[in-house]
A and B are shown apart, each in its own frame.
Chain A
C-alpha cells in the first residue's frame, strides 16, 4: 500500500455502488428522501459507464394517451411473452416525470422541427455531468475511482460495502441499505463505454444470496468499425452491407446477417440510405458515431468500410439481479437498479432498441434510491451497530496470491467462451457444456487463490475476473435450461419459439449454479 493512500471509513444511510445514470438517480432520490448518501464508482461519476460514452435514446411519453399505448404494445411485441404491462407503465410514468426535472438542473433540451421540446435523446457526457452536479448539490458524498470489491453482511442483512481507492487505500462504508448499480457485464470487449462493466455488482450481490433472472437473454453484440470501439448501431439502419467481392448481403435482422457472414470473411457497410436531413441529424445528434470514421478519413455516406460485432453481454441484454417493484432484491437491505437489475419485466427477451434501458435506468434508480432510504430510516440508530463481515467467500488463505498473469489468464478464459459468435450469438448444448466445464475450472482456481496483494489494480482486476467468470456461468447455465430460441437467446439445436406462455428463469449460486423456472 502506498504511503499516500487514504483509509476511508464512513457511515451513511444509503450506499450506492456505481454512478452511471441508475446509480446517480438512486443517489439523488435517496438524498431527496432525506437520507445521507455515499456514491462509490469504479471510474468517475460523470464519465464512467455505458451512457457517459454512448448517448441514449429514452422513452418520453405522457402517461396516458396514444403514444403510451404504442410504447406498451411495442414492448409487448418485442418482449415475446415476458413483459409485464404494469411494470412498463410505471417505468414510463416515473421517467416522464423525472425527465422534466433535468431541464431545471441545466440540461438544455432541443426543439424538434415543429418547435416542440424533444426529450427523447440524452447526450451522455452532458447528462452525466448534470446528474453529478445535482447529486453533489444534494450533499451526496462521491467516491470516484473507488471500485467496490465486497458487500458487508450481518446475519442475512446487507450492512455496507468496501473497496479500494486509486492509490490502494481501502474504503469501507457502513450503511442502512445498499443499492447495486454497477451496470451490466460486457466482458471487457471494449465496446463503447463498457470496459469497467464486468458484472462486479452481480457477483457481490450473489455472494450475499441474491438471485438473477433473464441471464440467457445475452446474445447481444454491437456493430463497430472493425478497428474501433464505437458500437452505435443506429447508423446501420440506413446502411447496405456487402462482402469482400462487393456482393450485397440481405437479411431482415442486421445482427443475424452479420453473425452469419463475419465468420466467413470481411463484411462492409456503407450508410447510403441516409437522406441529407438524416445525415445532418446523425452528425448533429450523435457526433461520437463519426469519431472513428472521420479520424480514419472514412466518409460513411459515400465509402464502404469494414465492420465487426463486439460483445455487449448483459449491457444491451436483459439479465441481472431479480428485483421486486420497489427495487429490492431478495436480500434484506440490498437494492438494485439499471443494467445491474434484470430488465426482463420491461423488455422480455430482447433489450436494445427504442430506449428501454435508459428509461429503466432512471425509473429503477429512483425506485431503488427511495426504497433504500425508507429501509434505512426504519432501522434508525441501530443500523450501524449491526455485525459486519464481508460476504465474499473466496480469497481464503490456502493458495498463493495470484500473479497478474493468472488474473489475465482468467479474464481470457471468460472472453474466449463469451466472444465467439459461433458459441454465443447462436448457442447449442454441446458447446455450452464445454464452456461451462472450462469456466467452472477457472472459477475453482480463482476461488482457491490466496488474497491478492495491495496493488489497487490487481485487486480490482482479480475481482473483475471472478465477476466475469460468474456471469458467464449464469449465462450459459440459464441458456442450457431454455430449450428454445427466443429473442436474443438463440439455439442452433432448438431454433423455434416454444408455444405457450414462457417461464422466467432464475439463476443463483456460485460454486454450484442452480437454475429454476419462476413465474
Chain B
C-alpha cells in the first residue's frame, strides 16, 4: 500500500490523485495530496510511476502497514525505482525498446505462459 508522499519532493501537481485507479488520494488546495482511503489501495505501483519527482513510495505489502523512513528509502535507491527500471522520462512512457521479454518466449516465438 502507498506509505509515503515526501513533503520535500512533492510539488503538489496532483498527478498521483489523477493516476490512481482506485481513488485513494484526495487533493487539497495549496497542500500536498492526502492518502484518504488507504484500504482501497491495491498496490499497483502506478501512482509512484506517475510521480514526476519520485516523491511516492508504495510498500509491496497488501494488508500490513510498513513503517517507512524516507532517508532509508533514498539510501536503498527505492524512491523512483520502478520509473527508472522502466526507463520512463518524466511522465512519458519510454524505454520499451530495451524490453528483453523476447528471451522469455518459447523458441518458436510463441509468447511464454503469462
- Do chains A and B stick together as partners? yes
Chain A residues near B (Cβ < 8 Å): 42-44, 46-49, 52-53, 55-59, 61, 67, 70-71, 74, 106-113, 118, 120-121, 123, 125-126, 129-130, 144-145, 166, 190, 192-196, 225, 227-230, 232-234, 237, 277-278, 280-288, 290-296, 316, 352-355, 357, 457
**For B50, B60, B109, which residue has the most chain A Cβ atoms within 10 angstroms?**
B60
Task: Check B53 for interface membership: any CB of A closer than 8 A.
Answer: no
- Give the chain B neighbours of A48 by CB distance below 8 A: 21
Closest-CB distance, A183 to chain B (whole angstroms): 11
Contact of B60 among A47, A56, A74, A225 (CB under 8 A): A225
Tell whether A126 pairs with B93 under 8 Å between CB atoms, given A43-B21, A110-B100, A196-B22. Answer: yes
Closest-CB distance, B75 to chain A (whole angstroms): 13
Tell whether A233 pairs with B101 under 8 Å between CB atoms, given A43-B22, A52-B21, A227-B61. Answer: no
Tell whether A354 pairs with B64 under 8 Å between CB atoms, given A52-B21, A291-B45. Answer: no
Chain B residues near A (Cβ < 8 Å): 18-23, 37, 40, 42-46, 49-50, 58-64, 78, 81-82, 85-86, 88, 92-105, 108-114
- Is A59 a contact partner of B111 (Cβ separation < 8 A)? yes
Contact of B99 among A106, A230, A285, A316 (CB under 8 A): A285
- Is B44 a contact partner of A229 (Cβ separation < 8 A)? yes
Closest to A52 in B: B46
- Is B43 a contact partner of A229 (Cβ separation < 8 A)? yes
Complexed CA–CA distance, A57 and B60 (Å)? 23
Known interface pairs A71-B110, A110-B98, A290-B85; 19 further A-B residue pairs with C-beta atoms within 8 A, sorted by A's residue number: A43-B20, A47-B46, A57-B101, A57-B105, A106-B93, A110-B99, A121-B104, A125-B46, A125-B93, A126-B86, A192-B44, A234-B104, A281-B103, A282-B104, A283-B85, A285-B104, A291-B60, A296-B60, A316-B114
Complexed CA–CA distance, A120 and B96 (Å)? 12
- Is B110 a contact partner of A70 (Cβ separation < 8 A)? yes
Among all A-B residue pairs, the 8 with the closest Cβ atoms: A43-B21, A281-B103, A285-B101, A57-B111, A292-B60, A195-B42, A121-B101, A126-B93
Closest to A112 in B: B102
- Is B109 a contact partner of A53 (Cβ separation < 8 A)? no
- Is A118 a contact partner of B110 (Cβ separation < 8 A)? no
Tell whether A294 pairs with B114 under 8 Å between CB atoms, given A193-B44, A286-B101. Answer: no
- Give the chain A neighbours of B46 by CB distance below 8 A: 47, 52-53, 125
- Give the chain B neighbours of A195 by CB distance below 8 A: 21-22, 40, 42, 44
